[in-house]
Chain A
Amino acid sequence: MYTDGRVKDLISGRFIPVRVHVRDNRDEWQRLSDQFGVQWTPTILVVNQDAKEVHRIEGFLPVDDLMSQVELGLAQAAFTRADYSNAESSFRDVARKYPKTDAAPEALYWAGVAKYRSSDDPAALKETAGVVSREYPESTWAKKASVWQ
């Protein structure tokens, strides 16, 4: 899952990468899988500087899907530290760079939430509902955003 150069660059450049192996790091596996409620491999967590999980990826993903999910985690990390401007920009980057992945409608949804949080303007949510329903009408995120229309 980590053989692609883009994946390597993203993870090495933007994260502190930590691997817990089910057999080779048995004690850490037991401790951290209990702490985070991990039941299966592969599971990837994005954990912020306060040791809080902000994004979870379970199961194997092809490269573009993995990249989009990892970048979604970066955006969520910005969101959880209330850096809404950076979070919105990062969410929109995910949607722009990976438009055919499942992460794209989710990213658009959260970009709208981040914009609302930074502006306190409900129009940001209404606009987001329109965009998600138009671009990804079959997605779960279009259903979730529909309440804002």
Chain B
Amino acid sequence: MATTTQNITWRHDYDNALKDAQRQGKPILLDFSAAPM
């Protein structure tokens, strides 16, 4: 099956991301991580 998968573009600016979430009508997936970046 063909795929268009791209890596996730993680943001680190929660407050601005929340404004974008409101504009785009999407929820935020907020990942608290200790994994290697």
- Which residues B2-29 have CB closer than 8 A to chain A? 3-14, 17-18, 20-22, 24-29
A19 is contacted by which of B4, B7, B21, B31 (Cβ under 8 Å)? B31
Name the A residues within 8 Å of B3 (CB-CB). 5, 9
Q: Are B32 and A16 in contact (CB under 8 A)?
A: no
* A17-B27 CB under 8 A given contacts A32-B14, A41-B33: no
A47 is contacted by which of B4, B6, B11, B30 (Cβ under 8 Å)? B30
* A16-B33 CB under 8 A given contacts A5-B3, A8-B6, A25-B12: no
Counting chain A residues whose Cβ lies within 8 A of the other chain, the interface size class is 35 or more
A49 is contacted by which of B8, B9, B11, B27 (Cβ under 8 Å)? B27
Name the B residues within 8 Å of A51 (CB-CB). 18
Binds B, one of A69-77, A114-122, A141-149: A69-77
Number of B interface residues at 8 Å Cβ cutoff, please give it: 30
User: How far is A43 from B8 in the complex, measured between Cα atoms in Å?
Assistant: 17
User: How far is A11 from B27 in the complex, measured between Cα atoms in Å?
Assistant: 10
Q: Are B37 and A21 in contact (CB under 8 A)?
A: yes
**Chain A binding site: helix, strand, loop or mixed by DSSP?**
mixed
Q: Which of A12, A36, A70 is packed against the most chain B CB atoms within 10 Å? A: A12
User: How far is A1 from B35 in the complex, measured between Cα atoms in Å?
Assistant: 10
Q: Is A82 an interface residue (CB 8 A)?
A: no
Q: Are A44 and B32 in contact (CB under 8 A)?
A: yes
A54 is contacted by which of B11, B13, B17, B27 (Cβ under 8 Å)? B27
Residues on B close to A: CB < 8 A?
3-14, 17-18, 20-22, 24-35, 37
- Can you give 11 A-B contacts (C-beta < 8 A)? A5-B5, A8-B8, A15-B27, A15-B28, A17-B29, A19-B33, A20-B31, A21-B12, A45-B29, A46-B30, A73-B29
